[in-house]
Amino acid sequence: MKWKSFRLKTTTQAEDIVSSMLADLGVEGVQIEDKIPLTAADKEQMFVDILPETEADDGIAYLSFYLEEDADTESILKNVRQELEEMSEFMDLGECSIEESETEDVDWVNNWKQYFHQFYVDDILIIPSWEDVKPEDEDKMVIHIDPGTAFGTGMHETTQLCIRQIRKHVTQDTEILDVGCGSGILGMLALKFGAKHSVGTDLDPCAIDATYENMEVNGISKDQYEVMIGNIIDDKAVQDKVGYECYDIVVANILADVLVALTPVIVNQLKKGGIYITSGIIDDKEETVVEAVKKAGLEVLEVTYQGEWVSVTARKN
């Protein structure tokens, strides 16, 4: 099926109200393009420490939407233009031009799968559900991951740095806490390495669902782990639920600036002698994290590197 694509030029100030208007007219799935800088809250929920450079905000926004080929586009566009004309009387909507084009029907939900294939992290085979384990790999540790809306397939250098540190310090008695658990891969691997129990927290509801799904497909029962939504940095209820001085390992693969805020809080969750594993740190932020770790009273044990990324491992004495 072919779809008709429309790109409406408006202002950043009006993008929300125009999107709402389109939804009221039955137009769903509006895509917004603008140059508005990310807020601090936006950045805190991202999992990379270096962001692409963007141009300065020029006040222009583009709203793209799609209509089926057999839809009554003439009537819909007439209604859209009429609404825009009425709205323009009380606010600046900008140019309000609408470009039209045609696009093929694409399975956007699954099309990305062509770019994700099985790979190794040392001797661990990480494989998506749509691929088969080769006979020569059947004796390896195999982890099935369906990458989707939650971060953490094991492919990124920061995740691999954490995996190696977890493996180095885990024991059969290990209680591990994964802050910003994403897909659940770090807690899952800790359990595969022999840990006793895993707890994961995340701000994103999609991460909670992804963790449950990935744990299940890898044969890990629900009594071996717990996962919860919330911000452990400033939410006392989450801190209480997670528990105090009960973790042998805490791992956090998140932004360096978030690690600075997290570290003085998370020492309360660590047992004495517990190991704190951090990553998600671009190389020029290494000293910032090391300083935060030391300031929190932790002893830096090791700093490891992969590409331009850094992992800092410390201990609570």
Cβ 186 vs Cβ 202: under 8 Å: no
Q: What is the DSSP string of 23-51?
A: HHTT----EEE--PPPPHHHHHT-S-SS-
Residue 40: phi and psi, rounded to 5, are -60, -40
Place of tokens 């995340």: 202
Q: Tell me: domain 2-104, CATH 2.160.10.10, correct?
A: no
272, containing H or E segment: strand 270-282
pLDDT (tens digit, 9 = 90+) per residue, 175-212?
Answer: 999 999 988 999 999 999 999 999 999 988 888 888 99
Cβ 159 vs Cβ 152: under 8 Å: yes
What is the pLDDT, as a whole number, of residue 43? Answer: 54
What is the pLDDT, as a whole number, of residue 46? Answer: 47
What's the Cα-to-Cα distance from 280 to each of 48, 137, 151, 219, rounded to whole Å? Answer: 6, 30, 12, 28
What's the Cα-to-Cα distance from 249 to each of 139, 233, 245, rounded to whole Å? Answer: 28, 17, 11
CA 278 – CA 281 distance, rounded (Å): 8
Asked whether residue 180 is marked as a ligand-binding residue, the answer is yes
Kindly list the domain boundaries of the chain, sorted by start residue.
Answer: 2-104, 154-316
Pair of tokens at residue 134: 């080769």
Q: Which residues of the chain have pLDDT under 70?
A: 1, 38-54, 103-115, 147-151
Geometric angle at alpha carbon 228, from 251 and 167, rounded to 5°: 25
Global pTM reads 0.71
Bridge partners, 228 (sequence order): 201
> What kind of fold does domain 154-316 have according to CATH?
Rossmann fold (3.40.50)
Q: What is the DSSP string of 160-206?
A: HHHHHHHHHH--TT-EEEEET-TTSHHHHHHHHTT-SEEEEEES-HH
